[in-house]
């Protein structure tokens, strides 16, 4: 324990944050009084470091090397600056920094730009708290070498994070290996140096002009200018206590859509997220206030962004659903938007819908077809769409760091409510541009006397009934996840429920040219698919279930049977 006490005292000596200093001082006093619970807490905070990986940093706010705080962020900023300087060709690299409305996001962003500027980089800070897609856009728009977004997206209220993008050949996408390990090595070197108070800082950073936000608004509004059917559209929007609304409202005005009825209790940024247990539209109950608002105004559609507005949720009226509203799955939204993108590509139009020279850029070099892409855990229905329109299809590892790198991509998605609809401007998931594209589809259908539900039925009639489900197991001890994965590898199941397993792909061994990943993909004799993987951002094990049927009813029966079998399998290995 003395080692952890010494580490905590060394941490206190360099911590510029009065809140975390007081927190750690109090904890040390309890440890010295023999408090076993405090000792365990101290060990958890200092026995390891919050790991920097392809998702950057993400963790619980608090003092210690295994928490998100100003010391850890300062070390990360200095390490990232060293990495950028090492790979620069001589001129000072440019890095742009954004932040959302979570607790300490603005503080972490300003620490970062001051350290970047102090290291000799051209550091630019976005003008105020803004959605993650605006930062991803700004990296390309400003020709920056890199970008940092301070956000924990849809994580619990006490979390924050540090997401890293690269410009140049990476085109503003999130980092992938080996960049993560190289950056992590620089961060470790800074941490080993001992004291962040010796890091050079400068207030000589630039504040990005409002024109950057205006350019994002214009590019996003161009994704789907309002068609005739948009007039009179009665819909509801929630920002889930996040930063989306100001930007969304401006995009709607420029694109010509009617303003929605907003969920007042959730429309303004509030890092406490007081009305939801988890600020994630996927979580049970998160959209209850949206449905309540929609019922009150007899809305036709509900649209939600997560707190940093890089994800999109959609709900439609459904008499069979509890409360009369049903949230579409990420796969349903992704297949609708992928269908839209495929039609535009087949017609020679760009992802923005314009039949122009931009289309050539969207499709890549002359003669190379456009492509659709999704993560390997997302619906196989997108491949059916691509084949129908003669487009290329790519299945990638999870995360838009991989999806966005698919060759000649015009659309990409993952089932966790993430959609890339305008790759010529944003190489990341973007819940705002996806909302505009969905509003365009809904409005066009409305002009024909149809609804989003009718579009889903038309999709099934055209491509088949694809049905998906997910089992998510949250754990308190992440070692339990590793144990389950190890058990499945040691004794691979011969069947899931009553359906025999025909093949198992272990992606740790490399499959289909994909980089190795901790993923097991089970193919069943009836064509169904079960994928098991740890979450990349939360302490969860996720199981993804996919089936295809000749009708929605038959697909649902098959999916229910697969879910029952998967739950039995999970019980047997826990």
Active-site amino acid positions: 153
Q: Alpha-carbon distance 154 to 172, whole Å?
A: 22
DSSP state of 195: -
User: 178: cis peptide before it, omega within 30°?
Assistant: yes
Element (H, E) at 381: helix 381-388
CA Rg, the chain, in Å? 24
Q: Alpha-carbon distance 338 to 245, whole Å?
A: 25
| 179-193 vs 70-87: helix crossing angle, rounded to 10 | 120
Report yes or no: 324 and 295 within 8 Å, Cβ to Cβ. Answer: yes
SS3 call for 85: helix
Q: Alpha-carbon distance 246 to 257, whole Å?
A: 15
Residues 326, 332, 334, 335, Cα dihedral to 10°: -150
Report yes or no: 176 and 54 within 8 Å, Cβ to Cβ. Answer: yes
Strand segments (E) across 508-561? 520-524, 529-534, 540-549
User: In 142-287, where does DSSP find H-type helix?
Assistant: 179-193, 210-221, 244-255
**CA distances (Å), origin 441, targets 389, 420, 437, 468, 503:** 18, 16, 6, 22, 38
Report yes or no: 536 and 401 within 8 Å, Cβ to Cβ. Answer: no
Q: Alpha-carbon distance 57 to 76, whole Å?
A: 9
Report yes or no: 557 and 174 within 8 Å, Cβ to Cβ. Answer: no
Q: Alpha-carbon distance 28 to 38, whole Å?
A: 8
CA 54 to the chain's CA centroid: 12
In degrees, to the nearest 5, what angle opens at C-alpha 500 toward C-alphas 497 and 501? 105
Residues 169, 201, 243, 184, Cα dihedral to 10°: 50
Q: Alpha-carbon distance 204 to 424, whole Å?
A: 31
Of 307, 312, 339, the closest CA to residue 328 belongs to 312
Residues 164, 63, 308, 175, Cα dihedral to 10°: 10
Q: Alpha-carbon distance 233 to 258, whole Å?
A: 7
Of 107, 78, 71, the closest CA to residue 95 belongs to 78
Q: Which residues pair with 513 in a beta bridge?
A: none
Element (H, E) at 373: strand 371-375
Q: Alpha-carbon distance 294 to 251, whole Å?
A: 22
Residue whose pair of structure tokens reads 């489900």 in the numeric block: 469
């Amino acid at each position: 324990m003395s080692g952890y006490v010494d580490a905590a005292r060394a941490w206190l000596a360099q911590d510029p944050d009065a809140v975390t200093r007081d927190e750690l001082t109090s904890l040390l006093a309890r440890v010295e009084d023999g408090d076993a619970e405090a000792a365990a807490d101290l060990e958890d905070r200092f026995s390891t470091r919050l790991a920097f990986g392809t998702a950057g940093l993400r963790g619980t706010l608090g003092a210690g090397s295994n928490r998100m705080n100003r010391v850890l962020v300062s070390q990360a900023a200095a390490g990232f600056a060293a990495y950028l300087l090492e790979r620069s060709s001589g001129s000072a690299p440019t890095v742009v920094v954004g932040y959302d409305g979570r607790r300490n996001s603005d503080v972490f962003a300003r620490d970062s730009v001051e350290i970047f500027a102090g290291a000799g980089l051209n550091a630019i800070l976005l003008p105020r708290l803004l959605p993650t897609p605006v930062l991803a856009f700004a990296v390309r728009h400003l020709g920056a070498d890199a970008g940092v977004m301070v956000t924990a997206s849809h994580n619990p209220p006490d979390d924050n994070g540090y997401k890293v993008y690269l410009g140049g050949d990476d085109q503003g996408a999130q980092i992938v290996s080996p960049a993560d390990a190289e950056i992590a090595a620089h961060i470790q070197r800074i941490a080993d140096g001992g004291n962040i108070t010796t890091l050079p800082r400068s207030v000589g950073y630039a504040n990005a002009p409002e024109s950057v936000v205006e350019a994002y608004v214009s590019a996003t509004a161009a994704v789907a200018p309002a068609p005739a059917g948009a007039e009179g559209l009665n819909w509801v929007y929630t920002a889930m206590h996040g930063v989306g609304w100001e930007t969304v409202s401006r995009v709607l005005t420029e694109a010509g859509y009617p303003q929605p009825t907003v969920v007042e209790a959730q429309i303004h940024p509030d890092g406490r997220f007081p009305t939801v247990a988890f600020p994630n539209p996927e979580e049970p109950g998160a959209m209850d206030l949206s449905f309540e608002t929609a019922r009150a105004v007899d809305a036709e559609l509900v649209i939600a962004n997560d707190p940093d507005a890089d994800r999109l949720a959609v709900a439609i009226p459904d008499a069979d659903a509890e409360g009369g509203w049903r949230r579409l799955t990420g796969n349903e939204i992704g297949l609708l938007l992928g269908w839209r993108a495929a039609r535009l590509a087949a017609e020679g139009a760009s992802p923005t819908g314009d039949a122009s020279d931009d289309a050539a850029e969207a499709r890549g070099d002359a003669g190379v077809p456009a492509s659709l892409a999704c993560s390997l855990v997302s619906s196989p229905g997108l491949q059916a769409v691509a084949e129908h329109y003669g487009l290329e299809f790519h299945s990638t590892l999870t995360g838009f760091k991989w999806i966005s790198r698919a060759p000649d991509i015009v659309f990409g998605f993952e089932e966790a409510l993430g959609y890339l609809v305008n790759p010529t401007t944003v190489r990341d998931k973007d819940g705002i541009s996806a909302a505009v594209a969905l509003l365009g589809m809904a409005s066009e259908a409305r002009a024909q006397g149809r609804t989003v539900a009718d579009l889903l039925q038309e999709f099934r009639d055209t491509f088949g009934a694809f049905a998906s489900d997910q089992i998510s197991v949250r754990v308190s001890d992440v070692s339990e996840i590793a144990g389950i994965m190890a058990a499945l590898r040691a004794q691979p199941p011969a069947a899931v429920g009553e359906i025999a397993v025909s093949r198992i792909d272990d992606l740790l061994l490399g499959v289909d040219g994909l980089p190795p990943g901790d993923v097991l993909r089970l193919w069943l004799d009836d064509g169904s698919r079960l994928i098991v993987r740890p979450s990349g951002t939360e302490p969860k094990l996720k199981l993804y279930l996919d089936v295809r049927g000749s009708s929605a009813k038959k697909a649902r029966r098959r999916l229910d049977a697969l879910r029952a079998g998967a739950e039995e399998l999970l019980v047997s290995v826990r």
